[in-house]
Structure 1
Amino acid sequence: MTATPVQAVPRTSAGPLPGAWRLGLSRGALEIRQFFRQREQVVFTFSFPVVFLFLFASIFHDKVGSTGITASQLYVPAMMASGIMSTSFQSLGISIAVERDEKALRRLRGTPMPPAAYFLGKIWLVLFTGALETAILLAVGTGVYDVRLPSDPGRWFDFTWIFVLGLTACALLGIAISSVPRSAKSASSVVVLPFLLLQFVSGVYIAVDTIPGWMLDIGALFPLKWLCQGLRGVFLPDSARVLEQAGSWEFGRTALVLGAWCVGGLVLCLLTFRWKDRRG
């Protein structure tokens, strides 16, 4: 008997590989799921600015001069700005340093996944948590401290670009500073200390009109001060702008500074980011 010849079956093409944008969306969904699985981190991230808002607004609640607002209302946009920087700068600075120390970044770099997909995933995480943190603080501010939502569409447009530019600038700085810690154990100290100092010189915990001028000048070099000032300009009446260092909301300068930090932060990331730790 003769054997029946076996015909080769041609291999079908699996199609093009998914691009960085699609992989970034999948990576972002994974990052968000992993974030909410860590209950302690979720509680700390979203409760920290709210608790501090309650503390400071309970201690300082008198009328502020002839502005027609209370000190409690002054703290609401400041804590919103602090919450945005917490979910971007602090969160990324610590988490990426930990992933690098645990060799997770090194393993990801060895996969076919484009490097851009990893950073897109982090951006989606920061955007989601930052928006949720802002919504929580805004709900507390309007429900408890009588902060009025803007009725002018122009103010909501200002809020949108301030939020996007501020979040982007702080996120890029978080990625850049993640290369500074030598290990996961030192990441919290390296990242939290500058963030804490910036909150004091940027008008988060202390009113701008009571901070020494030289401290304000230092705070003006970083995005948090302008993020605070821009959000105060959105959610507080124009009578409160006399409390600012320049006596104005300075939306134009806020856009320039935050935009410059977006560009500068990107350059810092390109120059400093490493997939391996220093020992590797």
Structure 2
Amino acid sequence: MGSVGTFTPRPGAAPLSRQVLAQARMEARLMVRNGEQLLLAVVIPVIVLVGGVTGSEHLGLSLDHDPVDVFAPGVLALAIMSTAFTSLAIATGFERRYGVIKRLGASPLPRSGLLLGKVGALLLVEVLQVVIIGGVALALDWDPTPDVLGFVLAVALGTAAFASLGLFVAGVLRAEATLAAANLIYLLLLAGGAVVLPISAYGAFGGVVRWLPSGALGSAMRAALIDGTTSWRDLGVLVLWAAVGTTLTARTFKWE
């Protein structure tokens, strides 16, 4: 028996839940401390929100609701896309390049735990995004009529869809190619993916963009925060994209 004041070794890994929580906290801290990630997660969405609201008022754009009521849900969807897809893809791509994921794969944390930790980190950062962007929108006289279920499901399924697609891109391309591809896709979806503006703003092309994950997420967020309803159709589209992305990632992802 050890004497009083000494420690008895207890070899072995911590429970999986504690490992995943520790990994999520670390991943979230790294994302927040990274200037490029912070730019994608918070700065650009806030600029789009403020610029969209003030610009639409000066240009006299015809919208079905007040500009801030239209732009706020879309910018929240944009923030989720930027974090769950672009930031995750870039970070994972460079982690593969530097052998970080390979070394973590040899630790007591299983690969499933590593992925759960990354998803947990995304959700933590998204809470921060909702608080900041929502606060800015409220300062601009945003008056939402939220459907909590629709909003939570949109966030969860949008995160799942874009995270699976981001891991797919990061798992098949080199780090530099992932950086270029993730940013290019982000800009294309921002400009023409019906994430910030409603599908009705795209005319005949709206019938196409409604099937994109960006269009489905934007529509689900607007339904939850403008109409106060749950858009099951758009949530179903997000489920399909999450299934496609997960299948592609499971078949193609390379850990080194």
**Bin for the TM-score computed over the shorter chain:** 0.7 to 0.9
Instruction: Look up the equivalent residue of 2:224 and give its one-letter code.
Output: V
Given the superposition, is the C-alpha separation of residues 166 and 81 from structure 1 closer, same or farther in structure 2, using an over 3 Å criterion?
same
**1:1-280 to 2 correspondences below 5 Å:** 14=10, 17-39=13-35, 41-61=37-57, 62=60, 64=62, 67=64, 69-144=65-140, 146-150=141-145, 155-182=147-174, 184-213=175-204, 215-237=205-227, 251-276=231-256
Instruction: Look up the equivalent residue of 1:75 and give its one-letter code.
Output: F
Where in structure 1 do 4 or more consecutive aligned residues deviate above 4 Å?
none
Specify the SS of the correspondent of 1:179. Answer: helix
Which has the larger displacement, 16-25 or 120-129?
16-25
Instruction: Look up the equivalent residue of 1:76 and give its one-letter code.
Output: A
Instruction: Look up the equivalent residue of 1:186 and give its one-letter code.
Output: A
Q: Distance in 1 between matches of 2:82 and 2:40?
A: 11
Which has the larger displacement, 196-205 or 252-261?
196-205
In the alignment, structure 1 segments of 5+ residues that lack a partner are 1-11, 239-248
Q: Measure how far apart 1:84 and its partner are.
A: 0.6
Instruction: Look up the equivalent residue of 1:64 and give its one-letter code.
Output: S
Q: Deviations over 1:218-267 (max 9, x none)?
A: 323322111111111122247xxxxxxxxxx7712112111222222221
Instruction: Look up the equivalent residue of 1:150 and give its one-letter code.
Output: T
Q: Distance in 1 between matches of 2:183 and 2:104?
A: 26
Is the 1:147–1:236 Cα contact (8 Å) retained in structure 2?
no
In the alignment, structure 2 segments of 5+ residues that lack a partner are 1-7
Q: Percent identity?
A: 25
Specify the SS of the correspondent of 2:176. Answer: coil
Q: Measure how far apart 1:22 and its partner are.
A: 2.3
Specify the SS of the correspondent of 1:255. Answer: helix
Is the 1:100–1:106 Cα contact (8 Å) retained in structure 2?
yes
Q: Measure how far apart 1:26 and its partner are.
A: 1.1
Q: With the length of structure 2 as denominator, give the TM-score of the two structures.
A: 0.86
Q: Measure how far apart 1:101 and its partner are.
A: 0.8
